[in-house]
Chains A and B, each alone.
Chain A
Amino acid sequence: MNKVRFGHSAIPYLFLLPQMLIVAVFFYLPAGEAVRSSFYLEDPFGFGSTFVGLDNYRDVLSNAEYRRVAIFTLWFTVLVAFFALAIALVLAVKADAVLRGAKTYRTLLMWVYAIAPPVAGLLGIMLFDQHVGPIVKLAALFGWDLRVGVNYHDTAFAMIVTAVWLQIAVNFIFFLSGLQSIPRSVREAARIDCRSGFRRFWTVTFPLLTPTAFFLVVINITYALFDTFGLIDLMTKNEPGNNPVTLVYKVFLDGFRGNDLGGSSAQSVILMVVVFVLTIVQFRFIERRVHYS
């Protein structure tokens, strides 16, 4: 460990300054502004604003529509995180069995998966295209008239499938490298100790993968909550009326379509609290989590 000592100089702070500036301009300022405006009723035509205390929060939380969206968001998040993780884990375990020892293949595969997400995203959306999407055609074969962007449940289905599809790649990479970092001899010892491969996976491999898995759970929840904005926008085709949306998308809808800046700010503050809690849970857990080495 090399520790550079700067004495009492201001140099370390100087180094930090650009980073701090970015954080301040792009996070603290807008966040502060959101908190402030969540206490005000903004005039839709921009003629000043009135302080209303917690009224915005009260309105939001007592709104049936908001609760409906919150429940959908919860389901959406749970399903997306679960399937994205489960499918990626299965794929990673299969890939790991093939790749054991073959470092070249591993790197190549990582490359493919690192480049793939944007392409995969486009593909995912095309799969559900009303006119050329193979999934739509497949559904039609079974007599299911899949109408994404029109039918509430069909849209929800397409959103979940595409969101899962998009996230699998990232999860796969993390799971695979987690699997590959389990020492070969530990797995071999387990092969001597336990005949059933299935049992071996749940008693040795998976426990050793939990640090990775937990990290990914948090990443996936955050992803499903926040990073699916663009996807939802595309799928609902700007007609959110009868379509499912998540809380983040509703912030946008209410603020910029409904011109209810106060209510929308209150919603974003609520979401900030959710993120805050998630972060705390993560740190707590990681602190307590055993780090195997």
Chain B
Amino acid sequence: MAQVHIDRVSKIYSGTQRAVNDISIVIPDGEFVVLVGPSGCGKSTLLRMVAGLERITEGTISIDGRVVNALEPAERDIAMVFQNYALYPHMKVYDNMAYGLRNRGMPKAEIDQRVREAAKTLELERLLERRPRELSGGQRQRVAMGRAIVRSPKVFLFDEPLSNLDAKLRGQMRVEIRKLQRRFGVTSIYVTHDQVEAMTLADTLVVMNNGVAEQVGSPLDVYKRPASTFVAGFIGAPAMNLIDADVSDDGSAATVGGAVIAPLEHSAILEPGHAVTLGIRPEHLRRAGANEKAEIELVVSAIEILGADTLAHGQIGAGGPGKSNLIARLPGTTRLEVGSKLPLAIDRSAIHLFDRETGRRIVSDKASQTEVTPRARLAAV
């Protein structure tokens, strides 16, 4: 159990391109951190630098207060679960788990006790004499977990450990991994590109893009106050609607092609004509009541009925210069027809505002500003 301190870490594989670019995160003891982001954003690279499988180009990584940059993976007291499990094909399940302990010169009796205990926790007792190729995908996954647990390491590292499982098993294992991590209280870093996994597992979410940590925060924080248009579009499904707009002359509304489409609360800090991107989550759009003023009118082009919800896809500002696609998540009882016009109301408080040029979130006051700045939350720990 340990704190992991990633301090201004960068990775350059070759040339000048940075796979990981100046990332700093402090992970408190026992916390479960999820690195999430699109393919190629550098998640695995960062994780592998913590593991010691990849050399750190710049910066330092410390585990439990000790800088590990120059240490071999086996000296870092970490355990890693790989995407394809990476079990030793020639060893039985028992030996797969015992191998690391034997190499550390642990007494036989203790090894046996640890392996059997882990096998019991993971319901592997009856499989100990099998070889990996005689196991199902889910069982292999458990063995990989077991191999990590028996070492009782300071840090667990996971690189997309569930992505080779089917959807149902993935859901089960997700819950199980979280339970195990709580039970052992081991600091964990978990890489995934699946945002459901990310949201449900994380104490702290690190959203990465192009080698940079776009935002670090609790899952709810990231969902509620995305720090950039990238995060806004990445976290949440269906993705947040992002609409290019301008601030009206009196600063009280966002306009698209001259037509007001949303009221603004940020007037104090916005100049008229400021180019912004408006973010509205599909779930924050609702059908306007009969005597309510509809902010926007959606021309429905497709309907997805999911049971609990209905998703209405369509365009706003059709025909005009501000034409833009939009998705609204409506109650499952809503009756809609393709081609019809749907009046929608927006909660002012649910509107996210981003600077169109930088893509960064525009915050209305100082208080919320501290909340969304990356690193602030964790650096304070």
Name A residues whose Cβ lies closer than 8 Å to a Cβ of B. Answer: 183, 185-186, 188-196, 199, 203-204, 207-208, 290, 292-293
Contact = CB atoms under 8 A, between A and B. Distances in A.
Contacts of B133: 292-293
B100 A292 contact: no
Interface stretch (B74-82, B246-254, B265-273, B309-317): B74-82
Among A190, A192, A193, A292, the most chain B Cβ lie within 10 Å of the Cβ of A192
A175 to B, nearest CB: 17
Interface residues of B, number: 24
Contacts of B86: 183, 185-186, 188-189
B74 A192 contact: yes
B72 interface: yes
Nearest to B77: A192
B51 interface: yes
Contacts of A199: 103
Nearest to B71: A195
B53 A183 contact: no
Contact of B84 (A185, A191, A196, A292): A185
Instruction: Please report whether the interface of chain A is mostly helix, strand, loop or mixed according to DSSP.
Output: helix
Nearest to A194: B103
B88 A195 contact: no
Contact of B82 (A189, A204, A208, A293): A189
B126 to A, nearest CB: 21
Contacts of A293: 89, 133
A195 B103 contact: yes
A191 B74 CA distance: 6
B73 interface: yes
Interface of B: 51-53, 72-75, 78-80, 82-84, 86-90, 99-100, 103, 131, 133, 147
A193 B89 contact: no
A89 B99 CA distance: 24
A192 B100 contact: yes
Contacts of A192: 51-53, 73-74, 78-80, 100
A185 B87 CA distance: 9
28 contacts: A183-B86, A185-B83, A185-B86, A186-B87, A186-B89, A188-B73, A188-B82, A189-B80, A189-B87, A189-B88, A191-B72, A192-B51, A192-B52, A192-B78, A192-B79, A192-B80, A192-B100, A193-B99, A194-B100, A195-B72, A195-B103, A199-B103, A207-B90, A290-B90, A292-B89, A292-B90, A293-B89, A293-B133
Contacts of A185: 82-84, 86
Nearest to A199: B103
Nearest to A187: B86
Contacts of A204: 88
B236 to A, nearest CB: 32
Nearest to A182: B89
Given A192-B73, A195-B103, A203-B99, A186 B51 contact: no
